[in-house]
A and B are shown apart, each in its own frame.
Chain A
Amino acid sequence: MAGFGAIGFATPALLFALLALPVLWWLLRAIPPAPVQRRFPGIALLLGLRERDPESQRTPWWILALRVAALAFLILALSGPVLNPRGTPTGDGPLLVVMDASWASARDWPRRTERVAQALTDARRAGRPVALLRLTDPPPGPVAFRTADHWQERLAGLVPHAMAPGPDHPWLDSLPQAVETLWISDGLAREGRSALLNALQQRGPVRVFEPDAPAVVLLPPRFAEGGVTVAARRTAGATPPADLTLVALGLDPAGTERVLARASLAFAARADSAEGVFTLQPELRNRISRFQIEGMRGAGAVALADDSLRRRSVALLSVREASEALALLSPLHYVRQALAPSADLVEGASIEDLLLAAPDVMILNDQPGLSESEAQALLDWVRAGGLLLRFAGPQLAAGPEGLPAGAPVEDPLLPVTLRAGGRTVGGAMSWGAPRRLAPFREGTPFAGLPAPDEVEVRAQVLAQPGPELAERSIAELADGTPLVTRSLLGEGQIVLFHVTAGADWSSLPLSGLFVRMLERLAVSTRGQLPGEAELADSVWQTEALLDGFGQLRRADDSPAVPGTALGAALIAPEPMADAPAPGLYRGGTQRVALNVGNNRSRLQPANWPDRVIVEAGVERPEQPLAGWLFLLAAVALMADALGTLALAGRLRAAAAVLALAFLPFAPGTAARADTPAQTETRLLEATESVVLAHVPSGDPRIDEIAHAGLRGLSIALYNRSSVEPAPPMLVDPEADELALFPFLYWPVLENSPIPSAEGYARLNRYLRGGGMILFDTRDAERARLTGTTPAGRRLQAIAAGLDIPPLEPVPSDHVLTRTFYLLGDFPGRHADSTVWVEAAAPEAERAEGMPFRNLNDGVTPVVIGGNDWAAAWAIDEAGQPMLPVGRGMTGERQREMAIRFGVNLIMHVLSGNYKSDQVHVPALLERLGQ
């Protein structure tokens, strides 16, 4: 490869062809552009004329320059130029490429693969065998050496894993004795690295590629001071300050994932940790599924959220009577205190309001006296999955009024049937001592909780003995009477504490046991990871796993994970290959997120011995320039074609052809003439005959239909009457002179543009000058100016600026009904809407013996309706109707009536109230058959 500075050529001999360029110049100079052949009858007038400047019959110099340049570019491109040519790579023998391919590599994975690709290209040129392996996914058997192109094909499919390389490398034994190594490192120090390096160095030189960007890992989110805090760590060392953005992602109410909140994550210089704080509403916070560093890829830049972030919403029904009791005597005080740190409380006095807040749990104290419909709503809510937690109280114990003590109290909102009256023990008036708790039975939600001795129960409500009582009772007193009962109802459950929520019946609410019982009932959640003891015997189902780039993928088919392994992984400094992979795990009702980072993660930079060559960046790659030169040549040839066309006077035709080619891509703009000269031509055409016009509606398709509709109406007029309209036009009240058009059709959509002040001035001048506008809201009906449809409201907005007289629905004797055809109604594609015109003068009276009133003045300036007339008039290029109207022959009849309406309308516009003259009455009477 011959080189000239930064540019080298693959086949420099071809450059000699450049010498031929002057010859080409001389050759081309002699040939002028070909003339255009035109037939022209006025040739007799041309004979003998001479051009002002008899130009030489030679090609202009700039065309020549273009052509020569194009050829020069071609020659240069064919000679294979290369920018930054590299010398031949050194080394031979097998090459081993070792990639860490860990979570920390994902951030600049493309740079790593680029470096590998470079190494593979060099190896291919040198014909060296290559083996490529990822330490996170080491080959099960011996290392296989293959040709470089084998790996080149597979390189694009290599991805990092969301874990760290393991410390053992059994494949080392299968390596040949002499091998050169390229190690693509992720820059983190790990156990077993130096051993691997030593083993590789014994076999040959080792080169390390390690981009110097620090690795960043997010720690699991946690609650702190009312907000959610997400901590991050990065590679320790002399790192510059970094200002990153942390985003919280989750599903929005529509079910699409979007960014719910942002927080700043600022690393100070040389600092290796930082924190981002989110302060969020509970609803929003419960939606968060993960946190991520914006603009950074990799499993380390993602922190998954699990149940520890989720807080349940608990509704408390406040006592209806405004009570003057002290806070400590408030029956729900202890419940509130127990739940406040770990749940979101909603309090209210109305069941309806509380249910609207969609609580997970509803707490009722004593007998709240629910109405029947409220009780039913509550029952429905429980059946749909709610947890109703009730506490006993004096009223509940007493039962409904008039019930004798000991009678059964039934209530669908109670898990068991109660005995009216309850009992009191250990008080001043009773003999027995306060009761203590029995140990919790296996199989109940409270199994395993200690039953402390200090809890005393002095009063309780009693359940009616029955076959299901034992099964429904989940906590008992030492004497076997139930303390807590539960029944399942639909997907939800009802739980009753047989004591009060306050401390007056028992000391249970004062004990720590109360809080843990509530936790066990899943009324509240802990906000921390399950302890080792709880993990010990559990099995966790894999729900989703993180890949190396931080994307969460469903993994329902992955095997379940034992709790001990998960517990170990939760506190391991880095996810290891043989441990559970980062992701989401579910066990029972709880969900646990295993993230890449946790509190024990410490990112230490890798230390390489001096004799290892460490590259930080990829050297500038070879860049072949041939493509660009070919492009330049093509551009020059295109410019030459345009220039030649311009010389021959054919540029305009060529531009038209090009415009045609682009026409399908710009349907809306092509129909509109914009340049002043074109506008003037259009207006001149409009002066020559009657031209129906329509106003842009804001939708190209509707404009197309309006245009076709007016074309159809024009043709109908031409065939049926002496009106011979020219093809219709699109006029813009903003820009065009309206006075030339007797009639404007204005389809109104809900997003039609509203004219500017100048447009309104033109329109009002037009209306006062005798023009007519047909407004069509196209909405089938309800064009009754009540603004009930979006198009109707838009029409009101548009008409607000117009000078429109009072309107009325077309009276049966309006001149519109008889200007050409005798019509009763005015259908379009729809038939039912009212059509509005200017109201007649109130003093008009019907003459004696005449079917019509004396109305001889004025043409209505506007006609307003919603029958979508243009769609009924519209015909395509072949003269066939564009859109269907109605069904079968009835539809054809309706289309005919629509066309008749159009003819009548144009006749009304053009001839005013001519047909209103009484002279026509006898003929009309005869035709009406009266």
Chain B
Amino acid sequence: MTETATRLRSGAETIAAVLPPLLVAATHLANSALPGAHGRRRAGQGSEFWQFRPAGGSDAASRIDWRRSARGDDHFVRETEWQAARSVALWVDDGAAMDFASTRGAETKAARARLLAMALGLLLLRGGERVGLARADMPPRSGQSQAGVLALALSGRQTGAGAGMEHTQPVLATLPAGGHAVLFSDFLGDLAPVEAALSEAATRNIGGLLVQVLDPAEEVFPFEGRTRFESMSGHLRFETLRAADLRAAYLQRLAARKDALKSLAQHAGWRFTTLHSDSPPASGLMWLWQAIANGPGARRGV
């Protein structure tokens, strides 16, 4: 009994030890965004005043705003702005490939992606949205308590089927139709799961963002000489005698991959961007916030 409690506590402390840095960093990042309220510009459920409209026959007497109506002869109804909460599912690729950082001590792609996801989640929670993870066990919920849950879930490495894989895939099943998804990955692996997820999203009217997080080394391919490349999980190997010779071809393929992702996103009504793990996170967060606030489906190019 005692032993179980001790083990539980030590486990909880281990998890809690991970929690503050991510939550604190994300809170700080989110504070820098300072979003304004984003009304729906329609009458509906909400606390903000939207308009007075003349009362109709169908309006209950209790809905009439007597303070306004007393100024004239007509009866007015006070309408508030529609502030429907949206459901947003965040997903950060948990694969081994995301643990890459080209220079020692630099931020890994996974850390950057989690930070951005968490900060975006915090902003959304503050705006009253429901935020969850694209995992079966993390449906979207609203409220400040969800922030801690999100931080815990994002900090902890997924154990199970996805562990040790190069890339994992998102699960959008828990997201209600009409919701949004924000997918963080490097999208350097097989594109089929992404395609599958996007086509499923399209059928269920789920909008969203594809966010490709890349390390600077992946953008410029600064390698030379005889090199044996290994994937992060160690499954794939590739050896070359002159790495510098491959640079042009690699960059071409990378550009093609980005184009493919962009067209994939456009066909599903999503938006796509590439962020880098060495640039300041605030600018990336601003883009994400704008993209979410303006509606993921806005076709304005990236």
Chain A contacts to B: CB under 8 angstroms: 32-47, 49, 51-55, 57, 646-650, 688-689, 722, 724, 726
Contacts and interface: CB of A to CB of B under 8 A. Distances in A.
A53 B257 contact: no
Residue from A35, A41, A51, A53 with most neighbouring chain B CB atoms (10 Å): A41
A41 B240 contact: no
A47 B190 CA distance: 13
A892 to B, nearest CB: 25
A55 B245 CA distance: 11
Closest 3 CB pairs of A and B: A649-B225, A649-B224, A41-B97
Nearest to B236: A43
Interface string B1-33: 000000000000000000000000000000110
A49 to B, nearest CB: 5
B245 A647 contact: no
Given A37-B228, A37-B230, A649-B226, A45 B245 contact: no
Given A41-B188, A44-B236, A47-B238, A35 B226 contact: yes
A36 B228 contact: yes
Nearest to B283: A688
A49 B250 contact: yes
A797 to B, nearest CB: 39
B241 A55 contact: yes
5 contacts: A33-B226, A38-B228, A41-B218, A43-B229, A650-B225
Contacts of A49: 240, 246, 249-250
A879 to B, nearest CB: 16
The interface residues of chain A, by DSSP majority, are classed as: loop
B152 interface: no
A97 to B, nearest CB: 64
Interface string B89-100: 000000001101
Interface in B31-54: 31-32, 34
Nearest to A647: B225
A10 B246 CA distance: 54
Contacts of A33: 226
A55 B242 contact: yes
A923 to B, nearest CB: 19
Nearest to A33: B226
B189 A688 contact: no
A449 B93 CA distance: 117
B39 to A, nearest CB: 24
A34 B253 CA distance: 28
B279 interface: yes
Given A40-B231, A41-B231, A45-B250, 6 more contacts: A35-B226, A38-B227, A40-B223, A42-B188, A52-B242, A688-B279
B230 A38 contact: yes
Contacts of A52: 242, 245
A724 B32 CA distance: 9
A689 B280 contact: yes
B254 interface: yes
B224 to A, nearest CB: 3
A42 B213 CA distance: 12
A646 B225 CA distance: 7
B240 A649 contact: no
A764 B186 CA distance: 46
A726 B283 CA distance: 13
A51 B226 contact: no
A33 B250 CA distance: 24
Contacts of B249: 49
A344 to B, nearest CB: 76
Contacts of A43: 229-231, 236, 238
A724 B232 CA distance: 33
A42 B218 contact: yes
A722 B228 contact: no
A39 to B, nearest CB: 5
Contacts of A53: 242, 245
Given A39-B100, A55-B241, A688-B279, A45 B254 contact: yes
Contacts of B236: 43-44, 47
Contacts of B188: 41-42, 44-45
Nearest to A45: B253
B243 interface: yes
Interface in B71-108: 97-98, 100
A646 B226 CA distance: 10
Given A37-B230, A722-B32, A724-B32, A42 B250 contact: yes
A41 B232 contact: yes
A53 B238 CA distance: 17
Contacts of A689: 280, 282
Contacts of A54: 241
A427 to B, nearest CB: 111
Given A38-B227, A39-B230, A649-B226, A51 B253 contact: no
A675 B284 CA distance: 30
B226 A648 contact: yes
A118 B218 CA distance: 69
Nearest to B247: A49
Contacts of A647: 225-226
A35 B232 contact: no
B243 A649 contact: yes
Contacts of B186: 41
B223 A35 contact: no
Contacts of A646: 225
A689 B280 CA distance: 8
A548 B64 CA distance: 123
A33 B241 CA distance: 10
Nearest to A47: B238
Given A39-B232, A40-B231, A688 B241 contact: no
B239 interface: yes
A513 B190 CA distance: 123
